[in-house]
């Protein structure tokens, strides 16, 4: 058996504004991963994807028209790109990343699966090709993504992201600690992105300054992160969250966890990802991380994770 994987991600600054070409910052969460394990099978068996968490076994054929299944579609796209026939193998998928939570579980599963399909036919997709492929899959299923999720997940490095621009890796001057709190409420990114679009179309003069300010926050955060003064990110997180609230993508569950984290001593906190549920992040002093994680769990967070950005 050969194992392939891809990490979760969190967006530190700039979600939603990223869709409008504003800069955003995202980092991988390497301790939370999606896995795709390739088990070779007897000649003639064909390719099967076992999604263990969803209790699904899916046959993959080149001509299958199951376009409504993201996993089959991903495998087909990889085979097409590599001009390969389906190998005789079962690919078993598992994931530690909560679904519909803003942590990029869909893009991470697609990335791990694409790597596994390529591996099963004895090939490797370079990161640039893989990133484009996963972006196309994201577009097919999620409407108008900016590309930030696939980029940070495929390259597994902190990025300063501007839609359509070449990759800009971000160097972390001084490592810093985040606590991620999962509300347990599904946040459907496609819906939240569509609602922000409707808001923008209805009142561009009101929404444009909000998106512009979020972009400026990302620019300021980039400098702070690179020069190694992460505590100075705290007020930017608070302000970014207020602006996301103005875009209507916060939720009572997110507000609650943010308040709990701040009351427990976090330096700053905001929602992360599409919002409307999903996850929040809190910037914390390392010695307080455990305490804040416990406070979030006591307050009803479904999961809480500690991660160091480095
Ligand atoms: C989702 O993780 C981030 C959003 O900005 C959408 C996108 O950029 O594709 C909400």
Is the same domain home to 8 and 103? yes
Among the candidates 161, 187, 208, a domain finishes at 161
Of 27, 20, 64, nearest to 199 by C-alpha is 20
Neighbours of 33 (CB within 10 A): 18
pLDDT tens, 266-299? 999 999 999 999 999 999 999 999 999 999 999 9
Is the same domain home to 131 and 231? no
pLDDT tens, 101-140? 889 999 999 999 999 999 999 999 999 999 999 999 998 8
Assess if residue 166 is contained within a domain.
no
Of 92, 91, 97, 93, nearest to 31 by C-alpha is 97
Is the same domain home to 155 and 260? no
What gap in Å lies between CA 236 and CA 218, rounded to an integer? 9
CATH code assigned at 285: 3.30.70.890
- Judge contact between 1 and 210, C-beta under 8 A: no
What gap in Å lies between CA 293 and CA 195, rounded to an integer? 31
Strand partners, 90: 39, 48
Assess if residue 63 is contained within a domain.
yes
Assess if residue 262 is contained within a domain.
yes
Tell me if residue 65 is catalytic: no
What gap in Å lies between CA 190 and CA 11, rounded to an integer? 16
CATH code assigned at 8: 3.30.230.10
Is the same domain home to 114 and 191? no
Q: Per the structure, how many domains does the chain have?
A: 2
Assess if residue 89 is contained within a domain.
yes
Ligand 1 in reach of 138 Cβ (< 6 A): no
Is the same domain home to 9 and 150? yes
Is the same domain home to 108 and 214? no
Among the candidates 161, 180, 205, a domain finishes at 161
Determine the pLDDT at residue 53. Answer: 77
DSSP string computed for 230-265: GGGHHHHHHHHHHHHHHTT---HHHHHHHHHHHHTT
Closest atom of ligand 1 to 148 CA is 8
Separation of CA 256 and ligand 1 centre (Å)? 22
pLDDT-derived band at 65 (thresholds 50, 70, 90) equals: low
Assess if residue 272 is contained within a domain.
yes
pLDDT-derived band at 64 (thresholds 50, 70, 90) equals: low
Of 273, 266, 36, nearest to 142 by C-alpha is 273
What gap in Å lies between CA 228 and CA 128, rounded to an integer? 29
Of 62, 53, 160, 174, nearest to 112 by C-alpha is 53
Distances (CA, A) of 173 to 12, 52, 61, 224, 279: 15, 39, 47, 8, 25
Is the same domain home to 252 and 224? yes
Among the candidates 131, 161, 191, a domain finishes at 161
- Judge contact between 196 and 249, C-beta under 8 A: yes
Assess if residue 200 is contained within a domain.
yes
Is the same domain home to 286 and 194? yes
- Judge contact between 283 and 230, C-beta under 8 A: yes
Determine the pLDDT at residue 67. Answer: 62
Ligand 1 in reach of 11 Cβ (< 6 A): yes
Assess if residue 74 is contained within a domain.
yes
Assess if residue 217 is contained within a domain.
yes
Is the same domain home to 245 and 183? yes
C-alpha angle 174/112/53, rounded to 5°? 110
Residues in the chain: 310
Distances (CA, A) of 123 to 118, 120, 213: 5, 7, 44
CB within 8 Å of 286: residues ≥ 6 apart:
177, 308
Is the same domain home to 154 and 70? yes
Ligand 1 in reach of 146 Cβ (< 6 A): yes
Separation of CA 212 and ligand 1 centre (Å)? 16
pLDDT-derived band at 256 (thresholds 50, 70, 90) equals: very high
Among 10, 13, 19, which residue has the most ligand 1 atoms within 8 Å of its CB, making it the best to mutate? 19
pLDDT tens, 205-247? 999 999 999 999 999 999 999 999 999 999 999 999 999 999 9
Ligand 1 in reach of 119 Cβ (< 6 A): no
Is the same domain home to 38 and 121? yes
Q: Which of 65, 88, 149, 294 is catalytic?
A: 149
SS3 call for 151: helix
pTM: 0.96
SS (H, E, C) 71-96: HHHHHHHHHHHHCCCCCCEEEEEEEC
Ligand 1 in reach of 145 Cβ (< 6 A): yes
CB within 8 Å of 309: residues ≥ 6 apart:
12, 27, 158, 172, 175, 176, 177, 178, 230
pLDDT > 80? residue 66: no
Phi, psi of 60 (to 5 degrees): -115, 120
Ligand 1 in reach of 25 Cβ (< 6 A): no
Is the same domain home to 43 and 100? yes
Residue 184 lies in domain: 172-309
């Amino acid at each position: 058996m050969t194992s392939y994987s891809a990490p979760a991600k969190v967006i530190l600054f700039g979600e939603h504004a990223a869709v409008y070409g504003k800069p955003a910052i995202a980092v991988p969460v390497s301790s939370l991963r999606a896995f795709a394990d390739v088990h070779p099978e007897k000649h003639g068996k064909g390719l099967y994807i076992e999604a263990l968490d969803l209790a699904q076994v899916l046959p993959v054929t080149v001509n299958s028209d199951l376009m409504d299944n993201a996993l089959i579609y991903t495998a087909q796209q990889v085979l097409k790109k590599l001009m390969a026939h389906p190998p005789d193998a079962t690919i078993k998928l598992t994931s530690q990343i909560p679904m519909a939570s803003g942590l990029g579980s869909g893009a991470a599963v697609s990335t791990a699966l694409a790597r596994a399909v390529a591996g099963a036919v004895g090939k490797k997709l370079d990161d640039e090709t893989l990133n484009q492929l996963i972006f196309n899959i994201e577009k097919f299923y999620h409407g108008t993504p900016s590309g930030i999720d696939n980029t940070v997940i495929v390259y597994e490095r902190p990025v300063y992201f501007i839609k359509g621009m070449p990759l800009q890796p971000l160097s972390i001057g001084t490592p810093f600690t985040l606590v991620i709190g999962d509300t347990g409420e599904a946040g459907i990114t496609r819906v939240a992105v569509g609602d922000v679009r409707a808001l923008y179309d209805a009142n561009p003069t009101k929404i444009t300054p909000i998106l512009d300010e979020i972009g400026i926050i990302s620019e300021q955060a980039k400098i702070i992160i690179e020069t190694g003064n992460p505590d100075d990110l705290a007020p930017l997180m608070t302000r970014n969250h207020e602006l996301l609230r103005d875009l209507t993508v916060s939720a009572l569950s997110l507000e609650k966890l943010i308040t709990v984290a701040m009351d427990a001593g976090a330096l700053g906190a905001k929602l992360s990802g599409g919002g409307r549920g999903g996850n929040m992040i809190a910037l914390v002093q390392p010695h307080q991380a455990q305490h804040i994680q416990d406070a979030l769990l006591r307050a009803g967070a479904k999961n809480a994770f500690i991660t160091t950005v480095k």
